Chains A and B, each alone.
Chain A
Amino acid sequence: MAKKIMVVDDEPGIQRSVKRVLEKEGYDIVTASSGRECLDKLEKEHVDLIILDIIMPDMDGGMVAKQIRENKKYDDTKIIHLSVLKQLPGQEAIQKKQNIEYHIAKPFDNKDLIKKVKQVIG
């Protein structure tokens, strides 16, 4: 069965490009446009990886990751952050604690994104 990835981003353009790039690699993609939507969808279906934007209007990606990590049910769900912001000093430690696999900067390189996703969920 194909691995399932949830792309969480308030920008439809980003949602589409990530979805297209990873679908081509054979992954099953679901999308969410907000942190709230991400958490709601997680309750209903299991995903292997969440590609999570950081700057979003309702709830930022850091907060979403925190809530996911507070729920044991999602322990085997991996998270990659995808943001226009570079990883800031100090952020690294927090993300390590939350079991964030990678922090990828936008704009990303397709090959680099594919490589990292494969590293995390095969």
Chain B
Amino acid sequence: MANDKNKPEYSNEWLRILFEYAPDAYYLSDLEGNLIDGNRAAESLIGYDKDELIGKSFLKLDLLPPDYIPKAAALLTRNALGKPTGPDEFSLNPKNGAPVFVEIRTYPVNIEGRTLVLSIARDITKRKKDEEELKESAKRLLTVIEVVDEGITFSDIEGHFEVFNSKIREITGYTKDEANSHGDFLSLLYPDHEKRLQAVRGIEEVFQRGISGDIETAIRAKDGTQKTLLVSTSLVRYKNKDMLLSAYRDITKRKQMEDELRKQREHLEELVKERTEELQKAYDELAEFDKMKDDFLATTSHSLKTPITSILSLTQLLNDELSGLASKEQKEDLDTILKESLRLKKLVDDILSMYRLESRIRLEMRDVQLEELINHALSAMKHRADEKGIELVKELHERLPEIRASCDDMQDVLLNLLDNALKFTPNGGKVTVGAKREGSEITAWVVDTGIGIPENEQVKLFSKFSQVDSRLSRSSGGIGLGLAICKKILDAHGGSIWVESRPGKGSTFYFKIKSVSQ
């Protein structure tokens, strides 16, 4: 050493300082273990003064627990053969205090012609304790993993399981060794090729994204039963390797219950569907029947029009041609034929109107002045009023807003109401038609000085084929469908119609319809 010029020359004192203050404990002994020297760390490690130890053998002090004495003797033997040892772990009993763990290396050294032993001891008590604690906590964790009510596995990419807890053993029926030794555990769980591919794809997905959500998967357990699991897997970096940590929940029972529920629900739906179809069929048949009835009425009414046309036209012609030539009786006969033909025509027209209104054919609506319709109806009825000497009065004191209406139909309402009023008002009476604005609506009325209608009959008035009094209807040609048509028309316009009447005091028919907003 001294001959190496690149190295500094160490004085004894310098070396002494290095020895004394080294952080590890240095013990110099002979081959029997008798202490020759030690440094400060050596003193503080075991709590003895150097003076107390020098000249005494390790093997004979209380320092070494009896268990370790043969081990220590063995080291010295190796040193005697010129070989270093260690590191070896020892437990030491310091003079005062708890045992310490040390890691000891020994070197045979030649000093002044003698073979001595340099033992370097490092205090590893803390490390040892940490390791113990780590082991303990790992054991605790494993216990938890083992008893938790959820299947847990921890495996590498090749499918070698480090953890295969009791729940997953219970679910699959396989032990960890069986799983690890099979080589292709997936094919055991997924005998079906397609399902196996699906599982593999699921695992690949975890590698790509680091985690998978809850994936439902059906496996085949060792006993052959099908089980449905909910699996979630995370990719974990462990000891420089990618590992898969998976948690499994057995939802087989839940799944079965869901299936059962679904089957029952489907069955119920099926039943409901059947019943609905039956009802629909019955309804369709009824609707079909209703339509047949309506179609029959419509066709018949159209067919009736042809003979009525000839009868009316030729009777009118005869009436004109025979005026002056026929007897009074003959003239009255012709007159009756004409009137009855007109009544028949009206009935056919009413049936057709009813058919049209009930079949919900869209009405042709436009904006119109109600007054125009009133004027037209009055002029159409003037001749009949004059014949009976009835005074026709218009009662309108303001300019009305327009209404949105089917003109022909609203005209029919007024004509029907006026027709009835004239029919039931005795000769020399009075019929009044009026209208006024009421907010956003218009109310119109037709007042007669006729026989009036008893209250209990009033409600029936607007239903089809109602007749207040058969004697009355016979004498005046019947009410027929007129008011029912009026009600249908006002319904179709979003309006309303009603009557106020007292027997002997005449009747007032009102109708109300929305005006066009301005």
Contacting B at CB under 8 A, from A12-67, are 13-14, 16-18, 20-21, 24
> Is A11 among interface residues, defined by CB-CB distance under 8 A?
yes
A106→B310 CA distance, assembly (Å): 9
B194 within 8 A of A: no
Q: Is the CB of B317 within 8 A of A14?
A: no
Measured CA separation A84–B316 after assembly (Å): 19
How many chain B residues sit at the interface, stated as a range, is: 10 to 19
Residues A17 and B305 in contact, CB atoms below 8 Å apart: no
Q: How far is the CA of A85 from the CA of B302 in the complex (A)?
A: 8
Of all chain B residues, which has the CB nearest A85?
A: B302
What is B's interface to A at a CB cutoff of 8 Å? 302, 305-310, 312-314, 316-317, 320-321, 345, 364
* A residues in contact with B307, CB < 8 Å: 13
- Given contacts A13-B307, A89-B364, are A107 and B302 in contact (CB under 8 A)? no
User: What residues on A are CB-neighbors of B317 within 8 Å?
Assistant: 17, 20-21, 24, 110
**For residues 67 through 122 of chain A, which have their beta carbon under 8 Å from a beta carbon of chain B?**
84-85, 89, 106-110, 113
* Closest Cβ–Cβ distance, residue A93 to chain B (whole Å): 14
Residues of A within 8 A of B345 (CB): 107
Is B302 within 8 A of A17, CB to CB?
no
A106 CB to closest chain B CB (Å) equals: 4
User: Could you say which of B302, B309, B320, B321 contacts A13, with CB atoms under 8 Å apart?
Assistant: B309
B364 touches A110 (CB 8 A): no
- B contact residues around A21 at 8 Å (CB): 313, 317
Residues of B within 8 A of A14 (CB): 306, 309-310
Contact A17 B306 (CB under 8 A): no
Q: Judging by beta carbons under 8 Å apart, are B302 and A84 in contact? A: yes
CA distance A20 to B305 in the complex (A): 19
Residue pairs across A and B with Cβ atoms less than 8 A apart, 11 shown, are A11-B306, A17-B309, A17-B313, A20-B317, A21-B313, A24-B317, A84-B306, A107-B309, A107-B313, A107-B345, A110-B313
Cβ–Cβ < 8 Å partners of A113 in chain B: 313
The answer to whether B309 and A106 touch across the interface, beta carbons within 8 angstroms, is yes
Further 18 A-B residue pairs, CB within 8 A, beyond A13-B307, A17-B317, A107-B313: A11-B310, A13-B306, A14-B309, A16-B314, A17-B309, A18-B313, A20-B314, A24-B321, A84-B302, A84-B306, A85-B302, A89-B364, A106-B306, A106-B308, A107-B312, A108-B309, A110-B320, A113-B313
Residues of A within 8 A of B308 (CB): 106-107
Partner of A107, one of B305, B320, B364: B305
Chain A residues with CB under 8 Å of B312's CB are: 107
Minimal Cβ-Cβ distance residue in B for A13: B310
Expressed in whole angstroms, the Cα–Cα distance for A56 and B308 within the complex equals 18
A62 CB to closest chain B CB, in angstroms? 17
CB-contact partner of B310 in A17, A89, A109, under 8 A: A17
Closest to A9 in B: B306
The residue on B at minimum CB distance from A15 is: B310
Measured CB to CB, the nearest residue on chain B to A110 is B316
A109 and B309 CA atoms in complex are apart in Å by 9
